Amino acid sequence: MIDGKKTGLKPRLSLTDATLLVIGSVIGSGIFLTSGIIAKSIPSPEWILFVWFLGAVLSLFGGLTFAELGAMIPEAGGQYVYLREAYGPLAGFIYGWTAFLITQTGGIAALAVGFSEYLSYFIPEFGLDKYLFNPGIISISAGQIVALSSIIILTVINYFGIRSGSMVQNIFTILKLLAIGVLLLAGLYIAVAVSPSFAGDEVVREMPKGLALPAAIGIALIAILWTFDGWYSVNTVASEIKNVSKNLPLSLILGISAIGIIYLLINLFYVSTLPMQEMAGVVRIGEKATTYNFGQTAGTLMSGLILLSILGCLSATIIFGPRIYYAMANDGLFFRKFATVHPKYHSPSVAIIWQGVIAALLCLTGTYEELFTYVTFAVLLFFLGTVTAVFVLRKKRPDAKRPYRVWAYPWVPAAFGLIIFWIMINTIVERPVETIIGLILITAGLPVYFYWRGKK
């Protein structure tokens, strides 16, 4: 285990900070965009609420599983550390390699571009189609500059330490939750006042029948689980959480539970105020539901809420990524400089800077979306490997200190692992070419791994 006194990363995050990091890492734009798509395949208010509830329960199962690992191995790095301890350094390295070059940095780039897209709703001059430089091969737009600026500003804030980054993150998350709370109170009040039942009850809806129903639920569940994605961020900063053995599991339980309740209430607002035919297939469902009930001005405010939500999610994502590369460098599996901790701010300063550089390059090139599509299978594979690490470590280290043990073991981690495995199989069937290319990109890290092992 890495000694915090030696590394310089100090426990400065409270339970509140950790819980808000979980919430801020998850609630981005997904909840405001996915329900309309789900309504197209499952045109029933009751079934829509059910699949969101199921998604919340499964995410909580994942959080409970990660809680045991985080309390047992309270090191910086999260999944990298768990994969390393369960399967060896190669498994951990491949995860970190993919995170640094594609998934983590690409996620930051995607959020930053999403932020600029919603900002252009208010300031059209900042649109992605407003080119400043467009010779034909490489083009740079005002929207890309906005995205780049957001990455730089939040990277600088996190450079000044976990408390600095956490404070900004907390502000974004609290403002986001307050705005969502006002929306829900107003929306549900109208729903109760106008109609005692779902808005779409009078509409004849054709639900999928036979085997088509579980298939439709599966498709919806994939979208919902991705909307919940990001709760594991708190595991990555485990070494910087006060009383980690208690606060890390609590932050996961409280954070995921709060997100699940918020998501269910938002969907209750959607299905209580919009007829099914008005929901089905609509991408910007949050904006449409708000405009439908409160008018165009409220719809504009909803876009502002989504803007704030994306920025908060971007801030959280920038916080936890560098701890992965920092842990790799400490193990001698990455550039030694990435293990540098700022003597004053106690942040992995070099890792933070280089994460910002790679994310900025992906943001300017625009290739991150294609790359991320290629590694979807690998992301799921890492997730499955982390869940099964609970079983592996229970067998390898039966006497290890486990301040928290996953509830209802082995059923809870098994249920979550089976769902992830099912989604992986579906990804192979639906996207065989992308899966193969993704595996090629992942295995490209093997020569790099053996190079670093040789140096060590």
Whether 170 and 20 have beta carbons less than 8 Å apart is answered as yes
Given a cut of 90, whether residue 143 has pLDDT beyond it is no
For residue 209, the enclosing domain spans 9-455
Sequence-separated (6 or more) residues with CB below 8 Å from residue 304: 122
Given a cut of 80, whether residue 7 has pLDDT beyond it is no
Q: At 440, is the pLDDT very low, low, confident or very high (cuts 50, 70, 90)?
A: confident
Tokens 């990091």, residue located = 21
Where is pLDDT greater, at 402 or 303?
402
Measuring CA to CA, which residue among 61, 70, 47, 88 is closest to residue 418? 61
How much is the pTM? 0.87
No. of helices (H) and no. of strands (E), the chain: 21, 2
Looking at every residue in the chain, the average pLDDT score rounds to 86
pLDDT, tens digit (0-9, with 9 covering 90-100), for 110-129:
888 888 888 888 888 887 77
Given a cut of 60, whether residue 2 has pLDDT beyond it is no
Where is pLDDT greater, at 214 or 276?
276
Whether 102 and 375 have beta carbons less than 8 Å apart is answered as yes
Residue 2 within a domain: no
Measuring CA to CA, which residue among 109, 105, 122, 117 is closest to residue 142? 117
Residue 351 within a domain: yes
Given a cut of 90, whether residue 235 has pLDDT beyond it is yes
Cis peptide before 410 (omega within 30 of 0): yes
Given a cut of 80, whether residue 99 has pLDDT beyond it is yes
Beta-bridge partner residues of 131: 141
C-alpha count within 13 angstroms, C-beta hemisphere, residue 317: 28
- Please tell me which of 262-266, 299-303, 422-426 the model is most confident about, judged by mean pLDDT: 262-266
Residue 40 within a domain: yes
210: CATH: 1.20.1740.10
Q: At 369, is the pLDDT very low, low, confident or very high (cuts 50, 70, 90)?
A: low
The pLDDT value given to residue 137: 61
Measuring CA to CA, which residue among 22, 65, 103, 89 is closest to residue 389? 65
Sequence-separated (6 or more) residues with CB below 8 Å from residue 278: 288, 292
The pLDDT value given to residue 378: 81
Given a cut of 80, whether residue 200 has pLDDT beyond it is no
Given a cut of 70, whether residue 205 has pLDDT beyond it is no
Q: What is the mean pLDDT of residues 1-7?
A: 43
Residue 1 within a domain: no
Q: At 5, is the pLDDT very low, low, confident or very high (cuts 50, 70, 90)?
A: very low
Given a cut of 80, whether residue 442 has pLDDT beyond it is yes
Where is pLDDT greater, at 456 or 218?
218
DSSP conformation class of 347: S
Q: At 194, is the pLDDT very low, low, confident or very high (cuts 50, 70, 90)?
A: low
Whether 21 and 190 have beta carbons less than 8 Å apart is answered as no
- Please tell me which of 22-31, 185-194, 244-253 the model is most confident about, judged by mean pLDDT: 244-253
Q: At 236, is the pLDDT very low, low, confident or very high (cuts 50, 70, 90)?
A: very high
User: Whole-angstrom Cα distance, residue 408 to residue 404?
Assistant: 12
Q: What is the mean pLDDT of residues 352-380?
A: 80
Sequence-separated (6 or more) residues with CB below 8 Å from residue 223: 34, 37, 38
Residue 54 within a domain: yes
Would strands 140-141 and 131-133 be described as parallel, antiparallel, or unpaired? antiparallel
pLDDT, tens digit (0-9, with 9 covering 90-100), for 11-52:
889 999 999 999 999 998 888 888 988 998 888 898 999 999
The pLDDT value given to residue 305: 85
Residue 347 within a domain: yes
The pLDDT value given to residue 12: 86
Q: What is the mean pLDDT of residues 185-200?
A: 63
Q: Percentage of residues in the chain with pLDDT exceeding 70?
A: 90
- Indicate the helix (H) or strand (E) that contains 132: strand 131-133
The pLDDT value given to residue 203: 46
Residue 285 within a domain: yes
Cα separation values, 445 from 187, 264, 334, 399, Å: 50, 40, 12, 34
Residue 4 within a domain: no
Where is pLDDT greater, at 22 or 215?
22
Sequence-separated (6 or more) residues with CB below 8 Å from residue 59: 225, 228, 231, 256, 259, 260
Q: What is the mean pLDDT of residues 181-208?
A: 64
**Number of structural domains found in the chain:** 1
